[in-house]
């Protein structure tokens, strides 16, 4: 089995030389030269990728005294979720870190979840203490022992949000109400990614975008099932459709991409592949492929047939991955997020 981050380090640079041709004409019989025809407007290609989500972030953090660090964000069909902790906080969650060996002081200590309309039942929350949040009804349950404090409120008609306070400094009612009041669900900002897609099969719609902080990667899922989320129990997936994930690994990831001598770290069964015009590697046994977008940023594609990842790939998986690779377009400057295309440009 191949390790993560095994693709080639060489990058293909493509230069485009623009040539401007000037035509000079002499005036004859004092007649003016005809005006050049206007250049037709550049039309963006139509969005082609199916989506189960609105790939735009809700607004959060608009108050004058905003003193929170917004660290993680996720969009799914049923909710948007934000992971936060107070700036300069020296507290970790009551229950420790994330369970993956990280420093508890690096873990999120407040989790705000804004559910899509009709996706949350407030019946149980109504037994808690009534409170006012932005002029709308809400309910507060304080922390007891190791349980999180929880604030539940209505942010729109038939639409609810919850805020879990996981540490002492994020569990006080006034702190939680102030943070809840900074949610702006109607202020939407398109998600931007360092790649866009055009040829994702229709049976694999975009289903989740999860942008994480620090050394943790960004995850983009294409699936008909609800993505796993430890904060929100989800029903077992019964879909028989294929699924794809794209993982964007940041500068600070801790996966061993290269050996000490600088050579790529991959197994012999990887083969060369072109992904959006860029050189990469593909392990057909494990259904993984990837390319280095720039030094320190790697993009990995994994396409799983029904039955899960790391299973032998049937011929349709090979066909689908080739189709996806042909429709990848990379950002002009991966180090500058301003050059990244909004996801709203390529999903429908």
Residue 302 near residue 308, CB atoms below 8 Å: no
Domains of the chain: 63-181 (3.40.1000), 192-345 (3.40.1000)
pLDDT at 97: 58
Task: Calculate mean pLDDT across residues 251-276.
Answer: 61
**Predicted confidence (pLDDT) per residue in 128-145, tens digit:** 999 999 999 999 999 998
Segment 157-184 mean pLDDT: 96
Q: Indicate the average pLDDT of the chain.
A: 80
The answer on pLDDT for 192 being more than 70 is: yes
Confidence label for 224 from pLDDT (cuts 50, 70 and 90): confident
Q: Is pLDDT above 70 for 252? A: no
pLDDT at 195: 97
CA–CA gap between residue 256 and residue 260 (Å, rounded): 10
For the chain, what percent of residues have pLDDT higher than 90?
A: 56
Rounded Cα distance, 208 and 227, in Å = 7
Q: What is the pLDDT of residue 16?
A: 29
Quote the pLDDT of residue 64: 75
CA distances from 284 to 44, 245, 273 (A): 33, 15, 11
Distance between alpha carbon 328 and the CA centroid of its chain, in Å?
Answer: 16
Asked if residue 240 has pLDDT above 80, the reply is no
Q: What is the pLDDT of residue 316?
A: 83
C-alpha span between 14 and 2 (Å, rounded): 29
Please state, for a pLDDT cut of 70, what percent of the chain lies above it: 73
Q: For residues 41 and 273, which has the higher predicted lDDT (pLDDT)? A: 273
Rounded-to-integer distance, Cα 6 and Cα 265, Å = 5
Asked if residue 253 has pLDDT above 60, the reply is no
Across 47-61, b (16+ Cβ under 10 Å) vs e yields eebbbbbbbbbbebe
Angle at 332 between CA 331 and CA 333, to 5 degrees: 90
Phi/psi at 320 (nearest 5 deg)? -65, -40
């Amino acid at each position: 089995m191949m390790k993560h981050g095994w693709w080639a380090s060489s990058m293909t640079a493509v230069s485009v030389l623009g040539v401007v041709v000037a035509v000079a004409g002499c005036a004859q019989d004092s007649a003016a030269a005809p005006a050049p025809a206007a250049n037709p407007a550049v039309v963006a290609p139509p969005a082609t990728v199916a989506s189960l989500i609105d790939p735009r972030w809700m607004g959060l953090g608009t108050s004058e005294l905003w003193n929170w660090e917004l660290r993680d964000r996720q969009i799914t069909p049923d909710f948007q979720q934000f992971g936060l902790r107070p700036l300069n906080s020296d507290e970790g969650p009551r229950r420790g870190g994330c369970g993956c060996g990280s420093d508890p002081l690096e873990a999120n200590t407040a989790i705000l979840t804004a559910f899509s309309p009709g996706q949350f039942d407030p019946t149980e929350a109504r037994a808690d203490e009534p409170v006012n949040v932005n002029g709308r009804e809400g309910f507060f349950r304080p922390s007891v022992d190791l349980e999180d404090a929880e604030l539940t409120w209505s942010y729109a008609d038939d639409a609810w949000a919850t805020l879990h306070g996981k540490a002492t400094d994020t569990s006080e009612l006034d702190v939680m109400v102030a943070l809840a009041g900074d949610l702006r669900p109607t202020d939407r900002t398109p998600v931007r990614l360092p790649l866009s897609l055009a040829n994702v099969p229709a049976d694999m719609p975009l289903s989740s975008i999860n942008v994480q902080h620090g050394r943790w990667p960004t995850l983009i899922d294409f699936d008909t099932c609800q993505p796993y989320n430890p904060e929100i129990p989800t029903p077992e997936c019964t879909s028989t459709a294929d699924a794809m994930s794209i993982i964007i690994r940041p500068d600070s990831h801790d996966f061993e991409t290269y050996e000490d001598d600088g050579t790529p770290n991959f197994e012999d069964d990887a083969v060369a592949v072109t992904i959006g015009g860029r050189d990469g590697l593909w392990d057909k046994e494990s259904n993984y492929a990837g390319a280095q977008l720039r030094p320190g940023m790697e993009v990995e594609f994994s396409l799983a047939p029904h039955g899960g990842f790391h299973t032998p790939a049937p011929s349709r998986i090979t066909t689908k991955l080739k189709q996806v690779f042909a429709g990848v377009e990379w950002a002009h400057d991966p180090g500058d997020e301003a050059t990244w295309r909004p996801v709203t440009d390529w999903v429908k």
